[in-house]
């Protein structure tokens, strides 16, 4: 019988390896304990995946918007891991004035107000602004150490591209039933 044996890289090679950034994609109802609109299966899948991804990280960031008490925040604090909400603060959103009166609607999760679908180019632009804000904010906090960033599924590709130059980016989107 043959066994595969993993050989650790030489210590000199470890120093040259980029830090690991884990990106966890989710739909936003899963991020809070109440989880209105999330199935029990998806909630358990999200929580279990989050627990596994927390292992070995030095810092946790989350696109949490106005959500105050998220599952990730509670789990990070229990693991004595620094936690940061890296979304654009509500005060800044109000100053930016990113929606036109009468042309806004709640997002599908009911956690934020977004630009109406009738303005797709502006809705996309606002998403890109938010991704870049999350990237800059979390980059400043990470300081080239291993981390975990939780965000909406729609942001995974953009954030992966932004972080790829400095980090070994690994993205995770569990097979949530809502998405199947």
Domains and CATH numbers, the chain: 18-90+121-179 (3.40.50)
pLDDT over 50 (residue 53)? yes
d(CA 23, CA 65): 17
**Cα angle value 41/46/49 (rounded, 5°):** 120
pLDDT over 60 (residue 132)? yes
**Cβ atoms within 10 Å of 153's Cβ, excluding its own:** 15
What confidence tier does 57 reach under pLDDT thresholds 50, 70, 90? very high
pLDDT of residue 125: 82
d(CA 23, CA 17): 18
pLDDT over 60 (residue 123)? yes
Residue 132 makes CB contacts below 8 A (sequence gap 6+) with: 162
Residue 122 is encoded by which pair of tokens?
């502006």
Residue 6 makes CB contacts below 8 A (sequence gap 6+) with: none
d(CA 161, CA 168): 11
What confidence tier does 112 reach under pLDDT thresholds 50, 70, 90? low
pTM across the whole model:
0.83
Residue 49 is encoded by which pair of tokens?
């995946």
pLDDT of residue 19: 95
Task: Look over the chain and give the mean of its residue pLDDT values, rounded to a whole number.
Answer: 84
pLDDT over 60 (residue 66)? yes
pLDDT digits (tens, 9 = 90+) for 10-49: 554 556 789 999 999 999 889 988 767 788 999 999 999 9
pLDDT over 90 (residue 1)? no
HSE toward the beta carbon, residue 157, CA cutoff 13 A: 3
Judge whether 40 and 31 are in contact, CB under 8 Å.
Answer: no
pLDDT of residue 71: 95
pLDDT over 50 (residue 6)? no
């Amino acid at each position: 019988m043959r066994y595969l044996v993993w050989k650790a890289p030489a210590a000199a090679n470890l120093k040259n390896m980029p830090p690991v950034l884990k990106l966890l994609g989710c739909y936003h109802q899963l991020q809070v304990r109440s989880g209105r609109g999330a199935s029990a299966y998806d909630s358990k899948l999200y929580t279990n995946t989050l627990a596994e991804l927390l292992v070995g990280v030095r810092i946790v960031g989350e696109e949490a918007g106005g959500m105050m008490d998220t599952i990730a925040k509670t789990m990070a604090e229990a693991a004595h891991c620094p936690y940061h909400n890296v979304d654009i603060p509500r005060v800044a959103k109000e100053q930016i004035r990113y929606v036109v009166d009468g042309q806004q609607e709640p997002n599908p999760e009911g956690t934020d107000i977004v630009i109406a679908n009738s303005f797709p180019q502006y809705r996309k632009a606002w998403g890109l602004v938010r991704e870049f804000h999350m990237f800059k904010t979390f980059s400043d906090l990470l300081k080239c150490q291993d981390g975990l960033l939780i965000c909406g599924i729609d942001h995974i590709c953009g954030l992966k591209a932004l972080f790829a130059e400095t980090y070994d980016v690994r993205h995770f989107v569990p097979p949530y039933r809502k998405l199947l």
